[in-house]
């Protein structure tokens, strides 16, 4: 039973390909849980099937069987085993969360004096004040993760029903996200209307995106490719269509994409370039793009930085 559960737990192929630095850690935890779950499944189903056969009613037996009631040692054992498993899993998952930089939510900002504990509730409410944007939430914000390399910053705006990406360095705005391989990416995310969630299944990361405050995701893509970006928080009637793509590119391809889009945005002479706000009104100009990503062009126009 142990050998079967070990083999299945490590060789199940239930997860999509792993394309980020964090994915290995998450998969390790998942495989560990899968191993335990497989063993438990075999044990429980094994006892069940064995009992069905072994204790089957015999012909001409009209009794109710022996009147068994309670078994203290057995109950202690079957309470203790799951308790130990739950403790091990919680410590292990805490450790993985820590490795992904998910701990220390105050690390990215200056907590300031308002975070001092005064022993009553009002001091905690201050932390939720929308003006206190210095308090970051999210994965990868802990200072010891992905350190050393200057991360690529991308602003993410979630709206019903699209993701809008803004690159502060170049001013590029896009409905899809392009990032270079092996460089940490820092997403600074917020929502324009309701709560959304930014999910990259191949990267094993997911983070709520909340109106009025900023959340972060820091990760390092390590496989060139095209990956789905999915909204993972029911956000309205077309939530299911709130999808786009993340492209992990070579440094050269990424620079080329930035250059093409920067050129397009600065070139006022061409009619066909992307996201050019001149000479038409923003809403009129953005209409074809709005249709592409499934939002109203007025909404898209309002998102212009």
Q: Which residues are CB-neighbours of 127 under 8 A, at least 6 positions away?
A: 114, 115, 135
Site stretch for Cu ion (CB under 5 A), options 29-37, 111-119, 233-241, 294-302: 233-241
User: Among 141, 231, 293, 300, which residue sits at the site for Cu ion (rule: CB under 5 A)?
Assistant: 231
For 6-13, the CB contacts below 8 A with 24+ separation are 6/35, 8/34, 8/35, 8/38, 9/34, 9/35, 9/36, 9/37, 9/38, 10/35
Residue placing its CB nearer to Cu ion in the complex, 178 or 196: 196
Site stretch for Cu ion (CB under 5 A), options 58-66, 218-226, 230-238, 273-281: 230-238
Residue placing its CB nearer to Cu ion in the complex, 112 or 240: 240
Phi/psi at 101 (5° precision): 80, 30
Residue position matching structure tokens 């292990």: 92
Site stretch for Cu ion (CB under 5 A), options 60-68, 126-134, 234-242, 252-260: 234-242
Helix axes 72-99, 23-54, angle to 10 degrees: 160
By CB under 5 A, is residue 141 in contact with Cu ion?
A: no
How many residues bind to Cu ion according to rule CB under 5 A? Answer: 4
Residue position matching structure tokens 């324009």: 192
Q: Which residues are CB-neighbours of 249 under 8 A, at least 6 positions away?
A: 178, 179, 180, 181, 224, 257
CB of 159 to Cu ion, least distance (A): 8
Residue placing its CB nearer to Cu ion in the complex, 195 or 265: 195
For residues 164-223, which are near Cu ion according to CB under 5 A? Answer: 196
Q: Which residues are CB-neighbours of 69 under 8 A, at least 6 positions away?
A: none
CB of 230 to Cu ion, least distance (A): 9
For residues 240-259, which are near Cu ion according to CB under 5 A? Answer: 242
Dihedral through CA 70, CA 76, CA 78, CA 80, nearest 10? Answer: 160
User: Among 235, 258, 286, 300, which residue sits at the site for Cu ion (rule: CB under 5 A)?
Assistant: 235
Provide the binding-site residues for Cu ion, judged by CB under 5 A.
Answer: 196, 231, 235, 242
């Amino acid at each position: 039973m142990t050998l079967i559960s070990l083999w299945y737990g490590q060789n199940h192929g239930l997860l999509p390909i792993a394309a980020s630095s964090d994915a290995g850690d998450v998969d390790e935890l998942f495989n560990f849980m899968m191993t335990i779950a497989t063993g438990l499944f075999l044990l429980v189903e094994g006892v069940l099937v064995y009992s069905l056969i072994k204790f089957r009613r015999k012909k001409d037996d009209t009794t109710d069987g022996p009147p068994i009631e309670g078994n203290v040692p057995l109950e202690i054992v079957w309470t203790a085993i799951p308790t130990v498993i739950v403790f091990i899993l919680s410590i292990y998952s805490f450790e993985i969360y820590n490795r992904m930089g998910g701990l220390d939510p105050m690390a990215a900002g200056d907590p300031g004096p308002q975070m001092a504990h005064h022993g009553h509730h009002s001091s905690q409410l201050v932390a939720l004040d929308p003006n206190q944007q210095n308090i970051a939430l999210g994965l990868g914000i802990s200072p010891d993760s992905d350190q050393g390399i200057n991360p690529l910053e991308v602003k993410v705006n979630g709206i019903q029903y699209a993701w809008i990406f803004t690159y502060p360095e170049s001013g590029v705005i896009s409905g899809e996200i392009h990032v270079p391989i092996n460089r940490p990416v820092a997403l600074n995310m917020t929502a324009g209307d309701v709560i959304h969630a930014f999910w990259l299944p191949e990267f094993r990361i997911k983070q709520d995106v909340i109106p009025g405050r900023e959340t972060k995701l820091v990760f390092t893509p390590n496989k060139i490719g095209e990956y789905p970006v999915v909204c993972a928080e029911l956000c309205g009637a077309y939530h299911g269509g709130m999808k786009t793509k993340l492209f992990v590119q070579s440094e050269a391809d990424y620079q080329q994409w930035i250059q093409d889009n920067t050129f397009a945005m600065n070139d006022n002479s061409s009619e066909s370039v992307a996201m050019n706000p001149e000479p038409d009104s923003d809403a009129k100009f953005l209409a074809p793009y709005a249709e592409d990503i499934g939002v109203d062009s007025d909404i898209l126009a309002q998102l212009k930085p």
